[in-house]
Amino acid sequence: MNASTQDLSFSATVEGGAGGSRLPALNDWVAQVAALTRPAAIHWCDGSDAENEALTARMLADGTLHKLNEETHPGSYLHRSHPDDVARVEHLTFVCTTHHEDAGPNNNWMAPEEGHAEMDALFDGCMQGRTMYVIPYCMGPIDSPLSRCGVEITDSPYVVANMRIMTRMGAPALARIEREGTFVKGLHSIGELDPNRRFIMHFPEELTIKSYGSGYGGNALLGKKCHALRIASHQAKSEGWLAEHMLILGIENPQGETHYVAAAFPSACGKTNLAMLIPPEGYRNAGWKVWTIGDDICWMRPGADGRLYAINPEAGFFGVAPGTSRNSNANALASIQSSTIFTNVGVTADNQPWWEGLENGQTPVIDWRGNPYDPAKGPAAHPNSRFTVSAKQCPSYSPMAEDPQGVPISAIVFGGRRASLVPLVFEARDWTHGVLVGAAMGSETTAAATGAVGVMRRDPMAMKPFCGYNFADYFSHWLSFDKEGAQLPKVFHVNWFRKGDNGKFLWPGFGDNLRVLEWMIQRVKGEADAVETPIGALPAEGALNLDGITLDEEAKAKLFGFDRAAWEAEFASIGEYLDEYGPRMPQALKDEQQRIAGLLAD
């Protein structure tokens, strides 16, 4: 928006704790946005309990929220989104950089002036009769040098309630913004919730986001995908750090030693389950523990000792509800028994939240649209229905998650949903190979974004929907960490989703994934055996602990073997993929692809 062309004399009732800021740049921006969107009132969020209670009462009164059973789920609410607004909209998500090539073939692009003009036309007068909320927030622990702040302006109280859980929001964040003088500007309006008037635009060079026409989490909670991934990845490139779509967990062995792992998986591939893993019984009895730092986003940068240190910029979980059960993720289930916002789940006769795979013996009576549940009309909960809950409610939440210095990362894991070809686990031989493993990641699509489900696509480092700049430059940035004095993590690839000839999963997954993590940590310490192959090092027979599980011969062959001819074809396709980026693709990565393709052909 061009301030000079706006009528800044517009006035609205100002409410809320702060009622303004000591930072002129922030006050001016809020005034410009108000002049454009013309709200009835402006509310500066302070993040207090009183503010949250008042907002909740407002949302209960207008039907934005429905109270759930207070006895079974105290302080919890259900929100039903517009049925056409249930997932991220990648085809309507843009990165607006001055030069088209800077956004890369991996993003939709628009010139910044055009993007602003398009968005400002949508925002013009869109908040009339509504309250405009100003949300100062901090991504990461409030006192961490790795954290970054932003301000989201929105007309959705549901967004305010979610941002309060997902970020450090309110007065302390405002104080940090006023101290630092910089912040990411995020402007959001639900507009008319019309899919034809919906866009999510990013202006990384201006640290600005504009999102219109959707109330869905990934499109509307601007701290998450828009700031912490798209804008932050761009910022991280110029500042020498990494903003990644990764969970972070700590693995404590019986000797009390904890290793931290960061793992990238595409949306809805079990990141939350892995981040909250409960060790199998034998491991539990032996004293193993798994600690959760984050389930979706990881910001990392080299520390003085050359290792990568990571923080989780988020303060809560926005997890996929379907499939969450006592068996699949008891920690998530325990976390969401109180003070949780559920979005698009079903409801039981006694008003408890319900979703497919909950497996608690109850049945839904109302579906996610608010209609009587009829199995013939589809699932009770939308496949991308969600829970929003504070990370502090998770039994496995690590106290180290609040450490301003972050945690040192021992291993980076890339994983996809691959029914065939890809073995359970392999280790990259060095950093360059690891970057290629991440760059070549492929996965079948899920319900987290609109579009066909189950189609295999390349999703480098699980960042296809989230990298705010050209992937070729992003891979160069990753390669640049391999320098004098660096103590980089080992890189691995996993596939929990390999299927047998009968179409069934071959690996039990969930808690048993700890067996794979244990092998990785042993490899980091130089204590486990591996078999070298052209694609990387696979666990040697007997090196990965399989005590307590039974795998048949087909499973062993497919999970721990490698099919040379099929990999040769895969590497040809990886080569073609890298070529799609033209001359900006780093030569080192192309050479690495060639090296392995050569080994496979031998």
Active site residues: 269
511 among annotated binding-site residues: yes
**Residue 280 binds which one of ligand OXD, Mn ion, none, with CB within 5 to 8 A depending on kind?**
none
Strand partners, 347: 353, 366
218 binds, among ligand OXD, Mn ion, none (CB under 5 to 8 A by kind): ligand OXD
Number of C-beta neighbours around residue 91 at 10 A: 10
210 is in an annotated binding site: no
Nearer to ligand OXD, 474 or 519 (CB): 474
* Cβ nearer to ligand OXD, comparing 88 with 237: 88
Residue 296 touching ligand OXD (CB under 6 A):
yes
Site for ligand OXD in 385-404 (CB under 6 A): none
Nearby residues of 380 by Cβ (< 8 Å), 6 or more positions away? 345, 346, 354, 355, 356, 364, 366, 367, 368, 373
Per rule CB under 5 A, is residue 244 in the interface with Mn ion? no
**Of 90-98, 258-266, 296-304, 588-596: span binding Mn ion (CB under 5 A):** 296-304
Q: 173: helix, coil or strand? A: helix
The pairing of strands 364-366 and 442-444 is unpaired
Give min distance, CB of 214 to Mn ion, in A. Answer: 16
Is 525 annotated to bind ligand?
no
- Which residues ranging from 541 to 560 are in contact with ligand OXD (CB under 6 A)? none
Residue 202 per-residue DSSP state: E
Residues facing residue 536 across a β-bridge = 533
Does the annotation place 298 within a ligand binding site?
A: no
Q: What are the residues whose beta carbons fall under 8 Å from the beta carbon of 175, sequence distance 6 or more?
A: none
Instruction: Answer yes or no whether residue 296 interacts with Mn ion by CB under 5 A.
Output: yes
385 is in an annotated binding site: yes
- The span from the CA of 363 to the CA of 405, in Å, is 46
Tell me whether residue 296 or residue 402 sits nearer to ligand OXD (CB atom): 296
CB burial of residue 79 (10 Å; 0-12, 13-18, 19+): buried
Q: Which is closer to Mn ion, CB of 224 or CB of 490?
A: 224
Q: How far is the CB of 267 from ligand OXD (least distance, A)?
A: 3
Q: Which of residues 308-327 bind ligand OXD (CB under 6 A)?
A: 318
Site pattern 443..462 for ligand OXD (x: CB under 6 A):
-----x--------------
267 annotated as belonging to a binding site for a ligand: yes
Question: Which phi and psi angles does 22 have, rounded to 5°?
Answer: -80, -5
- Asked if 226 touches ligand OXD (CB under 6 A), the answer is no
CA dihedral 456, 460, 461, 466 (to 10 degrees): -100
Q: Which does 318 bind (CB under 5 to 8 A by kind): Mn ion, ligand OXD, none?
A: ligand OXD
Smallest distance from the beta carbon of 317 to ligand OXD, in angstroms? 9
CA nearest to 467, candidates 478, 482, 456, 451: 478
First to last CA, the chain: 59
The answer for residues whose C-beta is within 8 angstroms of residue 179's C-beta and 6 or more apart is: none
218 binds ligand OXD (CB under 6 A): yes
272 touches ligand OXD by CB under 6 A: no
Residues whose CB falls within 8 Å of the CB of residue 477, separated by 6 or more in sequence, listed in order: 236, 237, 242
Length reported for the chain:
602
CB of 553 to ligand OXD, least distance (A): 36
Is the distance from CB of 312 to CB of 322 less than 8 angstroms? no
The answer to whether residue 267 forms part of the interface with Mn ion (CB under 5 A) is yes
Question: According to CB under 6 A, which one of 21, 162, 267, 348 is a site residue for ligand OXD?
Answer: 267
**Interface size with ligand OXD, residues (CB under 6 A):** 6
Smallest gap from Cβ 467 to ligand OXD, in A, equals 13
Distance CA 248, CA 34 (A): 39
Whether the CB-CB separation of 599 and 536 falls below 8 Å is answered with no
Q: CA neighbours within 13 Å on the CB side: how many for 74?
A: 1
**H or E element, residue 474:** helix 471-479
CA distance 202 to 175: 25
Closest separation between CB of residue 268 and Mn ion, Å? 8
Minimum distance from residue 215 beta carbon to ligand OXD (Å): 14
Residue 518 sits in the site that holds ligand OXD (CB under 6 A): no
**144 annotated as a binding-site residue:** no
Site residues (CB under 6 A) for ligand OXD, limited to 353-372: none
516 contact, one of ligand OXD, Mn ion, none, CB 5-8 Å limit per kind: none
**Interaction pattern, residues 71-110, with ligand OXD; x per rule: CB under 6 A:** -----------------x----------------------
The gap from C-alpha 33 to its chain's centroid, in whole angstroms, comes to 28
**Beta carbon of residue 166, minimum distance to Mn ion (angstroms, whole number):** 12
Is the Cβ of residue 218 or residue 539 nearer to ligand OXD in the bound state?
218
In b/e form, how buried is each residue of 226-239, taking b as 16+ CB within 10 angstroms? bbbbbbbbbbbbee
**Residue 217 annotated as binding?**
yes
Using Cβ positions, the residue closest to Mn ion within the complex turns out to be: 296
Do residues 78 and 345 lie in contact, with contact meaning Cβ atoms separated by under 8 Å? yes
Which residues here bind ligand OXD, judged by CB under 6 A? 88, 218, 267, 296, 318, 448
Annotated binding site: 88, 216-218, 225, 245, 267-273, 296, 384-386, 417, 510-513
Which residues here bind Mn ion, judged by CB under 5 A? 267, 296
Annotated binding site for Mn(2+): 225, 245, 296
Annotated binding site for substrate: 88, 216-218, 267, 384-386
